[in-house]
């Protein structure tokens, strides 16, 4: 039988964190899932670590591929899964033990819901909790989603709805998850679990840190596309404002 949920962990040179990410998925109270670890051409031990986990648990598959980049690797990984529901966990983040159980319950109980997302906590490189993410405080609204990406970070998707909107748009070099959520919001009901069921790691080598400006510009593209789809492009345009702020902090020699 096919698993109800397909979980994807995609990683590139994440040997420091990949084991913790895999363990957080294996610790789920909901057991009907499979896990695809997609290694995007890592040059460190990321793939080897994942393979060792796969030897001990049949639910894990490892795909060690040539480097494609985050967006193309995610699209390829999704195409290699079969669950009716799907989600992805970044290879440096952690999934809380009841995350699948609580999100699956929403989709199982409400056929009109195509996506459910949760609150998240921020953690540092050492795994210390730094507080709840600021986006959690923004109430969900299809219209406000045009400006605030509140459906960040953990989401469980109904595959049929994911496919209905066309899946991952690989034309966007990043901000593909924001673009996907905008398209989903236009055709399906979205629910929010106001409980932190995901731990989002903030560190100097994270994609959000290294590609922050790229994400801002590609988010603008996602918003512009949404305005066109919604018939609002003749009334609104995106006004992008980037403000830099500098500060000094003590060095953390463990990073």
- What does the alpha-carbon distance between residue 216 and residue 159 come to, in Å, rounded to a whole number? 27
Task: From 131, 62, 134, select the one nearest 91 (Cα to Cα).
Answer: 62
Q: What one-character-per-residue DSSP string does 195-254 give?
A: EEEEEEE--TTSHHHHTHHHHHHHHHHHHHHHHHHTT-TTT-----------------TT
Q: Which pTM was predicted? A: 0.91
Determine the pLDDT at residue 252. Answer: 59
DSSP-derived secondary structure letter, 105: H
Question: Does the pLDDT value for residue 46 go beyond 70?
Answer: yes
Residue 255: pLDDT band with limits 50, 70, 90: very low
Strands 60-65 and 33-40: what pairing?
A: parallel
Determine the pLDDT at residue 179. Answer: 97
- pLDDT tens profile 108-122: 999 999 999 999 999
- Where exactly are the structural domains of the chain? 5-229
Q: Which fold has domain 5-229?
A: Spore Coat Polysaccharide Biosynthesis Protein SpsA; Chain A (3.90.550)
**Over residues 32-45, mean pLDDT:** 97
- Looking at the DSSP bridge assignments, the partners of residue 65 are 40
Q: Does residue 173 sit in helix, strand or coil?
A: coil
CA-to-CA separations, 94 to 19, 98, 244, in angstroms, rounded: 10, 12, 29
Residue 210: pLDDT band with limits 50, 70, 90: low
Element (H, E) at 63: strand 60-65
Determine the pLDDT at residue 213. Answer: 82
- What does the alpha-carbon distance between residue 223 and residue 227 come to, in Å, rounded to a whole number? 6
Determine the pLDDT at residue 251. Answer: 61
Residue 237: pLDDT band with limits 50, 70, 90: confident
Q: Is there a contact between 102 and 116 (Cβ–Cβ < 8 Å)?
A: no
Task: Give the contacts of 216 (CB within 8 A, at least 6 positions apart).
Answer: 240, 242
Task: Give the contacts of 161 (CB within 8 A, at least 6 positions apart).
Answer: 114, 115, 184, 187, 188
Q: Where are the alpha helices (DSSP H) in 34-69?
A: 46-56
- pLDDT tens profile 62-96: 999 999 999 999 999 999 999 999 999 999 999 99
**Over residues 35-43, mean pLDDT:** 97
- What does the alpha-carbon distance between residue 198 and residue 153 come to, in Å, rounded to a whole number? 7
User: Percentage of the chain with pLDDT > 90?
Assistant: 83
Determine the pLDDT at residue 238. Answer: 85
Question: Does the pLDDT value for residue 248 go beyond 50?
Answer: yes
- What does the alpha-carbon distance between residue 218 and residue 226 come to, in Å, rounded to a whole number? 12
């Amino acid at each position: 039988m096919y698993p109800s949920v397909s979980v994807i962990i995609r990683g590139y040179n994440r040997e420091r964190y990949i084991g913790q990410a895999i363990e957080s998925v294996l610790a789920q109270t909901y057991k009907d899932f499979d896990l695809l670890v997609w290694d995007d051409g890592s040059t460190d031990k990321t793939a080897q670590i994942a393979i060792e986990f796969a030897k001990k648990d049949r639910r894990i598959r490892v795909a060690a591929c040539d480097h494609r980049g985050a967006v193309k690797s995610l699209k390829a990984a999704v195409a290699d899964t079969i669950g009716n529901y799907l989600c992805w966990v970044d290879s440096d983040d952690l999934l809380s033990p009841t995350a699948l159980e609580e999100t699956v319950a929403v989709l199982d109980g409400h056929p009109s819901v195509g996506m459910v997302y949760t609150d998240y906590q921020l953690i540092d490189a050492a795994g210390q909790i730094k507080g709840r993410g600021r986006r959690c405080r923004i109430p969900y609204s299809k219209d406000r989603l045009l400006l605030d990406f509140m459906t960040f970070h953990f989401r469980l998707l109904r595959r049929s709805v994911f496919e209905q909107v066309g899946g991952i748009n690989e034309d966007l070099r990043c901000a593909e998850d924001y673009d996907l959520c905008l398209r989903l919001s236009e055709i399906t009901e979205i629910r929010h679990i106001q409980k932190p069921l995901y731990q989002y790691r903030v560190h100097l080598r994270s994609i959000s840190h290294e590609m922050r400006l790229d994400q801002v510009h590609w988010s603008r593209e996602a918003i512009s596309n949404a305005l066109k789809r919604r018939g609002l492009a003749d009334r609104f345009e995106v006004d992008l404002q980037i403000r830099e702020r500098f500060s000094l902090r003590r060095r953390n020699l463990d990073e």
